[in-house]
Structures are given as structure tokens and as C-alpha cells.
Amino acid sequence: MTAFDPRADLHSSALEAGFDAAAWVSAGVAARDTRVFEMWCDAALHAGMDYLPRSADRRRDVTTTFAPARSALVLLVSHNHAVPTKPSGGTRVGRVARYAWSRDYHAVLRPALEKLEVIAARLGIRAKGYVDHAPILERGFAARAGLGWRGRSSQIISTSLGALTSIAVLLCDAVPPVDAEHPDRCGRCTACVTACPTDAILTDRTLDSRRCIAYYTVEHRGAVPIALRTQFGDHLFGCDDCLEVCPWTTHAGRFSKLLEPDPELAFPDLEPWFTDSGHAFLRRYGDTAFARARRRGMARNAALVLGNLRDAAHLPLLAMGATDAGWEVREAVAWSLGRFQSDHFSHALEGLTCDPDERVMLTARLALEGAFFA
């Protein structure tokens, strides 16, 4: 007769709740993971995400987040969706990272984690679930749980799910298991490093956020460095380039039980981002990842994509953005208008040379001089 193991029941419940993979790990934080994170912060590779180094002390010990923690059930959810059909109408150009194709995964996973907390309590386990919003080194936990390994892209790679995943953690007071760390399966493959448009992937398997498209299009407030803009190509929100080329992703098939892609998020219409108010934008996108960048961030991103595509059909939309309330939008529009060899909307660019914001004015003057046309 086998002894009752509440961890096994909770593991099964997690898969039944829709998570794509789950595994137990001890709640202790590996010194190696702490060292990598702190060296990354010390080198300022976190860019403007100053909340990360501020939480370094708490990341060394998860009991500062959940005092009873002895173990953790680490959970993966896949974003490896099939590509939905593009809707008709509007201006639908640019690429969106797959995790943003559905409702904000934080909002989707929170109820699933709360359900697991209730089940854990019935099994006599105190538990608390987290997805991204707590100071936990999730990738280190996932690797030690055997769910995958930290690839050259710095992301967790699973042999069954590939690299397009997000991690949730259910901290528990259950008896900790023996860790079973996953072996490294990258071999000599450097596909992710080669695929990065901005050379943001470093040799020590960390990421330089100061060069990362995902950072700038999602987290960054203000203007994107001019030196990086052409390398952004048609990336509208986030970037999956290093994840999609991973051989483990290409062989993974289609998963994601909890997340359903929405064509309006996978192929959004850019026009409302230049016409909606901030409140109207949140009414439309408040439960999506786009809310993280806010209306101004999304309009800025859209302007840069239009400048890189250089399709004259998009000039009226850029001209509209020249009067945007956000200086970062007007500045991006000035740069993008300077990418066109056309006199039809030169009045919009000339108007920006007198913009009240010096950053916009400077970019507009450089654009008129042809600095961005090459």
C-alpha cells in the first residue's frame, strides 16, 4: 500500500487546471542563481527596470515573500499558439510577441493559482501562488525542478514545450523534494544568438536589456535610442525572434490550454492608438499586455514600425501622430517621417521643428537634413 502524497495530488490538480507542465522543487534559492542575478544588476543590464535590483535581497530567500515556504510547485504555461487569421480593415502591420496574443496571462493564471491554493489547503498544505509579481528567481526554480534549462537566450527551454513559455510558482510548506536539475541541451547551437536583431544576447546566457527590443517596446518610457531603431524592424510589441528559432520550439507542436489567442491582439489595428485617449485605450486593452506600455508607448512603437516599413500608405497616420499629446510619440513620428523621400507630408515634419519639446525639435531637424533616410 503506497503512502498518501499530497504533493502528487497537487501536481495532478495543476495539470487539470490547465498548466502545461508542473514539477516540485525545494524552496531554497541556489547561490549560483543569486550570483548571476546580482552580477547582471551590478552591470546595469536591467536598463530602466530599477525595481529589479531593489528586490535583490528578497530574491535570496523566498520566505521573505511567503514565510512558511519549504517547497515550490513550478508551473509552465505555453504561448506556442497557432497563428490566428488576420482581421480585415484598419492598419494592421507589425509583429506582436505571442504571449500578448491573448488576455494578459497574469490575469488568466491568477484564478488558476487561487484554485490551486484552495486545493492545497484541503490537502493540508499552506500555499501561495505568484506569476511575475513577486521577487522570485523563477527560471532558477524551473531549472532545478527539471522543467527545462536556461538556454543561451537566457530563457527556460523545455524539451516538450520549447522556449515560448511563462513561469508561475506556487510556494508551499510541503516537505521539499530532492532537486532534479535538467541537463543543458543547447549543445553547440547558437540559433538564438544569431537571430537577435540587436545583439542583446550575451555570452554568459544573460540579456542586455539596454539593447533588447522586448524591453524597449514593453517596459521603457520615453524615446527609443535612435541607434537601435532600424534594427527593430516591424516589432510592434515584444520580440520572439530568439525563442521562435530555438529547435526545441520548432519541434514542440501546439500547446497552451489556458490561453486563447485573439486575432485583434495578434494583429492589432494601429489607428486607435493615435486617436484614442488614454482612458479609451485602457477600456479597450486594460486586460491585455498592451496596457503595460500604455497608449503612448504603443503609439510610439507603431510610429517606429511605420518608419521602418516605409510604406507611403501609412504617411497619413504618421501625420496624425505629429500632433499627439505624448512627446515620445511626436519624436518617433519625426524620425519616421524622415525615413520617407516624399514631400507630401513635409509640412508635418517642418511643424515638428518648432515643437515645444526640445527632443522632438532636434529629431525633426535631423530628419529634415536627411539623417535617417539611409
Cell numbers linked to 69: 515556504
Q: State the greatest distance between any 2 C-alpha atoms of the chain, in Å, as a whole number.
A: 83
Cα–Cα distance between 288 and 292 in angstroms, integer? Answer: 8
Mean pLDDT of the region 297-312: 97
Q: Where are the domains of the chain?
A: 6-80+99-172, 209-232+270-368
Mean pLDDT of the region 111-136: 96
Q: What does the pLDDT look like over 338-355, one tens digit per residue?
A: 999 877 778 899 999 999
Cα–Cα distance between 69 and 170 in angstroms, integer? Answer: 9
Q: What does the pLDDT look like over 7-23, one tens digit per residue?
A: 999 999 999 999 999 99
Q: What does the pLDDT look like over 233-251, one tens digit per residue?
A: 999 999 999 999 999 998 8
Note the pLDDT of residue 2: 53
Placement of cell 513577486 in the chain: 134
Give 23's contacts (C-beta < 8 A, 6+ positions apart): 11, 73, 74, 142, 145, 146, 147, 180
pLDDT over 70, % of the chain: 98
Mean pLDDT of the region 117-134: 96
Q: What does the pLDDT look like over 96-121, one tens digit per residue?
A: 999 999 999 999 999 999 999 999 99
pLDDT confidence tier of residue 86, bands split at 50, 70 and 90: very high
Note the pLDDT of residue 1: 36
Note the pLDDT of residue 189: 97
Note the pLDDT of residue 3: 64
Q: What angle do CA 228, 267, 18 make, to 5 degrees?
A: 105
**Is the CB of residue 47 less than 8 Å from the CB of residue 78?**
no
Cα–Cα distance between 290 and 264 in angstroms, integer? Answer: 12
Domain 6-80+99-172 has CATH 3.40.50: no
Note the pLDDT of residue 6: 94
Q: What does the pLDDT look like over 262-289, one tens digit per residue?
A: 999 999 999 999 999 999 999 999 999 9
Q: What does the pLDDT look like over 142-151, one tens digit per residue?
A: 999 999 999 9
Q: Supply the residues annotated as catalytic.
A: 132
Note the pLDDT of residue 344: 72
pLDDT over 90, % of the chain: 92
Q: Give bridge partners of residue 14 from the DSSP assignment.
A: none
What mean pLDDT is reported for the chain? 95
Strands (E) located in the chain: 21-26, 71-78, 95-96, 127-130, 149-150, 156-157, 165-172, 235-237
Angle between helices 290-309 and 327-337 (to 10 degrees): 20
